[in-house]
Amino acid sequence: MKKFIFLGLCFFVLKGFSQPGTYTIGVKGDTLNKTDSKGFKQGKWVIHVDEVRGEPGYEEEGEYKNGRKEGAWRIYSLQGDLTGLELYRWGNKDGTCQYFNSSGSLVREETWRALNPDKQYDTLEIEDIDHLNEYKTVIVKNEGVAIKHGMWKFYDPSSGMIVRTETYTMGKLETHKQDPTSDSTKTANKTLVKPKEVQEYEKKNAGKKKIRVRDGQTN
């Protein structure tokens, strides 16, 4: 199993307390987990969460800007396996976030749209799903959280193939009418061809009133 080296494995060697705020000095001499004089988290942070009530613990690392997560954040299991890559803006998820199993295989991709928490309403340009390559302006009430927006993909970890997708527009799950000419529809409409052995069995027993078939039931 591939392991990833991350800041949490060699976390604290020195804590600092000064008039402007608090911070930690890592083994490489870099400043971590800093708070400014107003109590806002700033710069590089490593956060450790213990296992609680059966929920697995984890560590995550990334940067804060004025108390809000910003940019790329990495999530690790307590065994050091990378389990997630998340993108943030204004402290909310924004863009494509990826999640992995303990073997490092991709299991899910989520797409999010962050809203500016400093605004009561936010004006956004979004793609018009009814008109290709066209966009429309929408005004959204800011609830202080990220909104699901775009295509979510779910993968089979063993093959890496997409097994399911969901498409969201500003938090709303879209339902599309399936194209009857699409490959997936053609596959679904194909008549199932029975194996040769089954066809021969049915032909041999045609016309008989009752055929006892062992179906695996135990009652």
pTM over 0.85: no
Q: Given the structure tokens 């202080």, which residue do they identify?
A: 144
Q: What angle do CA 152, 156, 159 make, to 5 degrees?
A: 130
Determine which of 168-172, 175-179, 215-219 has the lowest per-residue pLDDT on average.
215-219
CA dist 117 and 87 (Å) reads: 16
With cut-offs at 50, 70 and 90, classify the pLDDT of residue 21.
confident
Q: Which of left, alpha, beta for 104 (phi over 0: left; psi -120 to 50: alpha)?
A: left
First and final C-alpha spacing in the chain: 44
Compute how many other C-beta atoms are within 10 angstroms of the C-beta atom of residue 115: 22
Least confident of 98-112, 116-130, 146-160, 181-195: 181-195
Summary mean pLDDT of the chain: 78
Q: For residue 43, what is the enclosing H or E element?
A: strand 41-49
DSSP per residue, 53-121 = TTBPPEEEEEEEETTEEEEEEEEEETTS-EEEEEEEETTEE-EEEEEE-TTS-EEEEEEEE---TT-SE
CA dihedral sign of residues 65, 47, 109, 55: negative
Higher pLDDT, 51 or 132: 51
CB atoms within 10 A of CB 21: 16
Q: Check pLDDT > 70 for residue 113.
A: yes
Q: Side chain identity at 140, as an amino acid letter?
A: V
